[in-house]
């Protein structure tokens, strides 16, 4: 008998690693969880699937002890437990990777990881273990870097590494691959399968249906805070999982005839030194986006995307004035407000803090980038503001407590839908978006991508920075790849493959381009 079959038989005969019964949790005006039952076996990779606002993250936080349920019971390895806080959860062998990170910006990577591991290890030992883990799994992290200097993707790697270092019995992953490259995702999946084979149980939340089908052996579906179904995702299709999750298949994106117009964004030989020791120097960056087209930038997080977006949005005005041109005007030294008057709108990757003010209402958050409800004298029309917010909420199906709901009260995906809707509805001439569908469910993701295509069809120039290649391949007309502060040549979508883009992510486009040119020359000569 093999070790794997022995493990499988013991998992079947053993009590469930996790057993939930009657879990309920309500907030003012919202029932997040209602009578939830869930069973996870030892060594099982179990998906929890549902649209934004279905109650997935709340349920995971209850298991991890960061949210207290109103009712229900929980058992771990057959023993009743009441997890009062994350520290107790970790002592029981439960670790969690949050979609919204629980990190201290002013501390280093190693110090953040150390906080979650107890005091039996020194900081030097933790740093060494981080290096060993990141090298083994290809996650690329410097233990000495302060968190505030890291991109969203790099911060997510901290959460993953911290969870792996606890040697958990139950590992909860909430959208762990949302900003990871395909290569990093494959490495992570190898790790997760190894952990499962060793007996670790994994609860896996993702909106990427192909990931769930490839990785998970069981699935519980939530809809409206209740369990709406259970299945083996390996026996399902993306379409059938969509029907279980949202009651229907998401509509297919409409193919459009691309008609490009004038150059709206023109970046020429942009050189920009890093502002801090952990940043990335931009070197000879050049790109163009025309009216009517969607252009994508692919790349591993932390290769200069943040610095480029700051320079394009106007948050960094150190560039040469004529290095960035918006609608024919030199904009390198312009403030964000002046660029917005030229029609440039921007959606950052950080939802709370940059994309929205957490404590302000959704209606008030409209004022960050839109002045439709402000008179020439500076008076704000409250009624008009509420009407605009209500329209965005209804159009993008944002689940919330209404226009007066605080931004921080929304789930990550619903807040993303509102922010995207706010900028799209402003009618921009140039829209620059970072991670447009990060953490957004399959239906809402399809809607956002469709809206971006409609915007381009109406003549807007759209620039999308994303680490999700499937997204870029689906909506972009051309692609660039960013690596080590440099931008690759423009690549038509028809010529882009996962293999080619993955190679270019390592900065190896020059030899590839030269080889292709040589081959084309040989064919022409023949």
Q: Provide CB contacts within 8 A for 21, sequence distance 6+.
A: 37, 72, 73, 74
pLDDT, block means (10 residues), the chain with 526 residues: 46 82 90 94 95 87 94 95 91 85 88 82 92 79 90 80 88 80 76 90 90 94 91 90 77 76 96 88 96 94 91 96 97 95 93 90 92 83 92 91 91 87 94 88 84 94 91 94 95 91 84 59 59
141, 111 in Cβ contact below 8 A?
Answer: no
Tokens standing for residue 515: 């080889």
Q: What is the 3-state secondary structure (H, E, C) of 160-198?
A: HHHHHCCCCCEEEEECCCCCCCHHHHHHHHHHHHHHHHC
Q: What is the pLDDT of residue 3?
A: 44
User: Phi and psi for 513 in degrees, rounded to 5?
Assistant: -65, -40
User: Phi and psi for 102 in degrees, rounded to 5?
Assistant: -110, 70
Q: What is the pLDDT of residue 465?
A: 96
C-alpha–C-alpha distance, residues 495 and 473, integer Å: 10
Q: What is the pLDDT of residue 363?
A: 94
Closest among 245, 249, 189 to 222, alpha carbons compared:
245
Tokens standing for residue 308: 């480029």
Tokens 């690549």 sit on residue: 491
Superfamily of domain 256-343+428-526: P-loop containing nucleotide triphosphate hydrolases (3.40.50.300)
Question: CA torsion sign, 194 to 195 to 198 to 204?
Answer: negative
Q: Count other C-beta atoms under 10 Å from residue 333's C-beta.
A: 15
Question: CA torsion sign, 150 to 156 to 161 to 167?
Answer: positive
Superfamily of domain 3-246: P-loop containing nucleotide triphosphate hydrolases (3.40.50.300)
Residues in the chain: 526
C-alpha–C-alpha distance, residues 203 and 47, integer Å: 6
Closest among 270, 309, 349, 304 to 505, alpha carbons compared:
304
340 CA to centre of own chain:
25
| CB crowding 399-409: b at 16 or more within 10 Å, else e | bbbebebbbeb
392, 418 in Cβ contact below 8 A?
Answer: yes
Q: What is the pLDDT of residue 239?
A: 84
386, 398 in Cβ contact below 8 A?
Answer: no
386, 403 in Cβ contact below 8 A?
Answer: yes
In the chain, where does the domain assigned CATH 3.40.50.300 lie? 3-246, 256-343+428-526
Q: What is the pLDDT of residue 4?
A: 45
C-alpha–C-alpha distance, residues 164 and 142, integer Å: 16
Overall pTM surpassing 0.85 (yes/no): no
Q: What is the pLDDT of residue 186?
A: 80
- Residue 348's SS3 state is coil
């Amino acid at each position: 008998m093999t070790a794997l079959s022995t493990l499988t038989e013991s998992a079947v005969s053993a009590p469930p690693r996790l057993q939930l019964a009657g879990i309920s949790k309500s907030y003012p005006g919202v029932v997040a969880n209602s009578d939830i039952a869930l069973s996870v076996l030892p060594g099982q990779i179990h998906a929890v699937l549902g649209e934004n606002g279905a109650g997935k993250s709340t349920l995971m936080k209850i298991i991890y002890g960061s949210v207290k349920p109103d009712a229900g019971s929980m058992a771990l390895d057959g023993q009743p437990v009441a997890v009062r806080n994350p520290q107790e959860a970790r002592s029981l062998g439960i670790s969690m990777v949050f979609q919204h990170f629980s990190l201290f910006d002013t501390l280093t990577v190693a110090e953040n990881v150390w906080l979650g591991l107890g005091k039996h290890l020194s900081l030097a030992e933790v740093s060494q273990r981080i290096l060993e883990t990141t090298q083994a799994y290809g996650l690329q992290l410097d233990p000495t870097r302060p968190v505030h200097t890291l991109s969203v993707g790099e911060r997510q790697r901290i959460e993953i590494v911290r969870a792996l270092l606890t040697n958990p019995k139950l590992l909860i992953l909430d959208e762990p691959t949302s900003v990871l490259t395909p290569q990093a995702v494959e490495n992570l999946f190898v790790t997760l399968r190894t952990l499962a084979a060793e007996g670790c149980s994994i609860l896996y939340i993702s909106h990427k249906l192909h990931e769930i089908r490839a990785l998970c052996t069981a699935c519980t579906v939530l809809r409206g805070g209740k369990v709406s179904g259970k299945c083996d995702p390996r026996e399902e299709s993306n379409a059938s999982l969509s029907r279980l999750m949202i009651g229907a298949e998401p509509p297919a994106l409409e193919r459009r005839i691309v008609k490009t117009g004038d150059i709206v964004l023109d970046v020429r030989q942009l050189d920009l030194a890093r502002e801090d020791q952990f940043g990335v120097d931009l070197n000879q960056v050049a790109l163009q986006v025309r009216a009517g087209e969607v252009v994508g930038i692919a790349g591993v997080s932390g290769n200069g995307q943040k610095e480029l977006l700051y320079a394009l949005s106007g948050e960094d005005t150190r560039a040469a004035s004529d290095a960035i041109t918006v609608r024919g005007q030199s904009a390198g030294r312009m403030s964000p407000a002046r660029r917005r008057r030229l029609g440039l709108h921007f959606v950052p990757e950080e939802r709370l803090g940059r994309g929205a003010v957490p404590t302000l209402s959704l209606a008030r958050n409209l004022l960050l980038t839109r002045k439709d409800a402000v008179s020439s004298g500076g008076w704000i029309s409250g009624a008009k503001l509420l009407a605009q917010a209500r329209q965005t909420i209804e159009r993008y199906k944002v689940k919330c407590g209404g226009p007066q709901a605080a931004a921080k009260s929304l789930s990550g995906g619903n807040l993303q839908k509102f922010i995207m809707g706010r900028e799209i509805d402003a009618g921009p001439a140039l829209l620059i978006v970072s991670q447009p569908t990060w953490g957004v469910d399959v239906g809402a993701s399809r809607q956002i991508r469709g809206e971006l295509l409609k915007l381009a069809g109406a003549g807007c120039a759209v620039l999308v920075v994303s680490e999700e290649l499937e997204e870029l391949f689906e909506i972009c007309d051309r692609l660039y790849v960013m690596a080590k502060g440099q931008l690759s040549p423009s690549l038509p979508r028809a010529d882009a493959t996962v293999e080619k883009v993955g190679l270019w992510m390592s900065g190896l486009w020059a030899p590839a381009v030269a080889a292709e040119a040589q081959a084309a020359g040989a064919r022409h000569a023949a």
